[in-house]
Structure 1
Amino acid sequence: NSSILSWAAATGAPTGYKLNVGTTPGGTSVLNNFDVSNVLSYNLGALLAGTTYYVTVIPYNPNG
């Protein structure tokens, strides 16, 4: 099984996105500022059943 994240494009012309994924709100135990470049989805692979995961998608551009 795989878990695919997808999100809508951010406003402000981002050049890429970073992901934080963890088992607590704002957590980074699975991914920490992981750069997925300029895509709108990412395959996390197999995650543990019955576990709640929290995801933060951070858009960025050359200005920050």
Structure 2
Amino acid sequence: MSKRQLTGAFLGVAALTAALGACAPTVRVQVDPITIYAKLDADVRVRLDEDVKALIQQNPNLF
């Protein structure tokens, strides 16, 4: 294969790649917001309450 044929083949492949790349479909997805309901049980509330009390005691000027 000559240099001229290789150059022509390369340009052909480049043109084909560009043509196929221009035909790429656009995909749009609509995402709705997700609402999460969390129900805290008594144990979690007690632990959070104790943690908050400890933080307030360590940082009395926090509020």
Question: Which TM-score bucket, shorter chain as reference?
Answer: under 0.3
Greater radius of gyration (CA): 2
Pick the structure with more helix per residue.
Answer: 2
- Give the TM-score taking structure 2 as reference length: 0.22
- Give the TM-score taking structure 1 as reference length: 0.21
Point out which structure has higher relative CO (alpha carbons under 8 A, 6+ apart). 1
